[in-house]
């Protein structure tokens, strides 16, 4: 039997102190408990942060601060989020099930681990679970794995829908720990696997996520579109979060991020650069789709994701720009 200590933090300071002392944060437990039950994660100490009073507050600068312990359902039910950041509400709603979203927290969603089947199979070689043990997914059953940001060590996809919207929205992660509070741009929070796939984020020992900040809302149409094997309760094979502003037939504002295809929530910077200031036409949106997957590398069974992502980007931009 695995033993571990457990405490429930009633205040943020107590949670930060416990995290600094080495305790692993527990949000809704919808991912961590599964991993503990399968002996993939073996924390020695847990601090339950899910009862912390989480809030969604406008800041003096007009940004929106969402507490790390706020439940996914509460984010979706926020009138402010629905009105000003609809792609975030759509992304969260497209994930998991109502019951899981009721339990899951914002911080837990950001730090949820991959769904690569070999990661969950203790008999398989997996560099992410056991560093330097090899990777059975490469050349194996990798249909759900990534085509962007992969390495010779790992091709696991980052599974979150919510994080794709946070990437497109230029969010900032607020982290507390031994060094005090740090603000980490979302684009820098998750790591590509390289040769250390077990290191997945910028979070350092003793640190916890206390909040996520969304930049001031931008009044252009936005959406989140997800393709999966069945209509609900399935992870993305491909997804896109996009926001598009068009003035005088030209692209005045564009943000694109991809899910289901990258080793981390994937911002499509090259596609954005191609579109910014140019004509808002179907041809331009198709070219942006090409640019979004220009660096993609197919594995043994996931080559279809490249074409899927290319078409998802083009179609979503056409819909936002109302182009045929
Ligand atoms: C059947 C099923 C289907 C799913 N489908 C989808 C889907 O389609 N799309 C999708 O995006 N997700 C899906 N999920 C994943 C789900 O979104 C995550 O399990 C959930 O968001 C995790 O949140 P949590 O609060 O329960 O995290 P926990 O399980 O509590 O924790 C997850 C990780 O976050 C860490 N953590 C938690 N809080 C903090 C904190 N404040 N600071 C630092 N570390 C912290 C934990 O230590 C742990 O490492 C699915 C899950 C299940 C079980
Ligand atoms: S792709 Fe990554 S998570 Fe999957 S088996 Fe390989 S190392 Fe493990």
pLDDT tens by residue, 16-36: 999 999 999 999 999 999 999
- Confidence band (pLDDT; 50, 70, 90) for 174? very high
Looking at the CA of 164, name the nearest ligand: 1
The pLDDT mean for the chain works out to: 96
Average pLDDT over residues 49-55: 88
Q: Which atom of ligand 2 is nearest to the CA of 135?
A: 6
Q: Which residues line ligand 2 (CB under 6 A)?
A: 114, 116, 118-119, 126-128, 135-137, 145, 154-156, 197
- pLDDT on residue 158: 98
Give the integer Cα–Cα distance in Å for 62 and 86.
17
- pLDDT on residue 2: 85
Average pLDDT over residues 211-232: 96
- Confidence band (pLDDT; 50, 70, 90) for 179? confident
Q: What is the tens place of the pLDDT at every residue in 104-153?
A: 999 999 999 999 999 999 999 999 999 999 999 999 999 999 999 999 99
Q: What is the tens place of the pLDDT at every residue in 265-284?
A: 999 999 999 999 999 999 99
Q: Which residues line ligand 1 (CB under 6 A)?
A: 24-32, 49, 68, 95-96, 100, 103-105, 107-109, 111-112, 159-162, 208-209, 235
- Confidence band (pLDDT; 50, 70, 90) for 232? confident
* Closest Cα to atom 8 of ligand 2: 126
- pLDDT on residue 53: 74
Q: Which atom of ligand 1 is nearest to the CA of 160?
A: 11
Distance 42 CA to ligand 2 centre (A): 18
- pLDDT on residue 323: 58
- Ligand 1 test: best mutation among 33, 46, 112, 258, most atoms within 8 Å of CB? 112
- Is the model's pLDDT at 324 over the cut of 90? no
């Amino acid at each position: 039997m695995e033993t571990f200590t457990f405490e429930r933090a009633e205040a943020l300071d107590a949670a930060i102190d416990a995290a600094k002392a080495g305790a692993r944060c527990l949000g809704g437990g919808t991912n961590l408990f599964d991993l503990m039950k399968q002996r993939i994660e073996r924390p020695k100490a847990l601090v339950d942060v899910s009862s912390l009073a989480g809030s969604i507050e406008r800041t003096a600068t007009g940004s929106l601060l969402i507490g790390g312990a706020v439940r996914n359902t509460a984010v979706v039910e926020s009138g402010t989020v629905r009105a000003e950041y609809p792609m975030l509400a759509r992304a969260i709603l497209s994930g998991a099930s109502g019951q899981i979203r009721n339990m899951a927290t914002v911080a837990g969603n950001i730090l949820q681990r991959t769904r690569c089947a070999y990661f969950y199979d203790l008999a398989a070689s997996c560099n992410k679970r056991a560093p330097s043990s090899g990777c059975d997914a490469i050349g194996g059953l990798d249909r759900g794995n990534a085509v962007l940001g992969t390495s010779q060590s790992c091709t696991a996809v980052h599974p979150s829908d919510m994080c794709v919207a946070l990437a497109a929205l230029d969010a900032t992660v607020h982290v507390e720990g031994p060094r005090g509070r740090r603000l980490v741009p979302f684009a820098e929070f998750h790591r590509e696997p390289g040769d250390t796939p077990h290191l997945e984020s910028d979070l350092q020992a003793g640190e916890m996520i206390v909040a996520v900040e969304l930049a001031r809302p931008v009044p252009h149409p936005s959406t989140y579109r997800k393709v999966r094997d069945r209509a609900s309760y399935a992870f993305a094979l491909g997804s896109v979060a996009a926001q598009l502003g068009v003035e005088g037939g030209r692209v005045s504002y564009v943000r694109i991020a991809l899910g289901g295809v990258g080793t981390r929530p994937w911002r499509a910077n090259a596609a954005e650069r191609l579109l910014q200031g140019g004509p808002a036409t179907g041809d331009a949106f198709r070219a942006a789709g090409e640019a979004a997957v220009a660096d993609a590398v197919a594995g043994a069974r996931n080559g279809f994701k490249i074409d899927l992502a290319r078409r998802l980007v083009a179609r979503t931009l056409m819909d936002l720009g109302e182009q045929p």
